[in-house]
Copies of this chain bind each other. A is one copy, B any other.
Amino acid sequence: MEAENKGIDQKLFEHLNAAYNKSSFYQLLGLRIKSLAPGKAEIVTETAKKHANSQGMVHGGLLMTAADSAMGNAIRTLGIRAVTVDCSISYLAAAEFGKDILAVGEIIKSGKNIFFMEAKVWGDEKLLAVAKATFYKNGVIEV
């Protein structure tokens, strides 16, 4: 399944996808970009046995990584590089194995250096986690 460009510069879109797919951590976890829109990113993965924690459940670290990555890429759709300063995540429900989880990251407010972000992580129609984060701009993306 191809990532979908929902309205950002096509060169930037291709650059962000290539960078994402080259990330060994995202490959390891099976995360990929589903779509990029101005100020918004969707990250998806199919949960599998490799994501199981010591209690046999999908590890929250997967959801948190997907949420963080959705928020970071939402900023990158603006051509801006930023790093996570802090993130607060709440786990509402356990993810099920063998199903897609979808993390949707969006900008609440962008300042000069500080970005206030939020993310929701969905499993089918069920809300699994909500996150709120602060990012700090550390450069621009040269395409």
A interface residues with partner B (beta carbon < 8 Å) = 16, 19-20, 22-26, 28-29, 49-55, 57, 59-62, 64-65, 68-69, 81, 83-93, 108-109, 113-114, 116, 118, 127, 130, 132, 134, 136
Q: Which of B51, B84, B127, B132 has a CB less than 8 Å from the CB of A25?
A: B51
Q: Assess the B65–A90 pair: CB atoms within 8 A.
A: no
Contacts of A127 in B (CB 8 A): 108-109
Known contacts A22-B54, A28-B51, A87-B88; 12 additional CB pairs below 8 A are A23-B52, A24-B50, A55-B83, A61-B65, A64-B68, A65-B65, A83-B91, A88-B89, A90-B116, A90-B134, A114-B136, A116-B130
Contacts of A52 in B (CB 8 A): 23-25
A56: nearest residue on chain B (CB-CB)? B23
Copies of this chain present in the complex amount to 4
Q: Which of B23, B93, B114, B118 has a CB less than 8 Å from the CB of A54?
A: B23
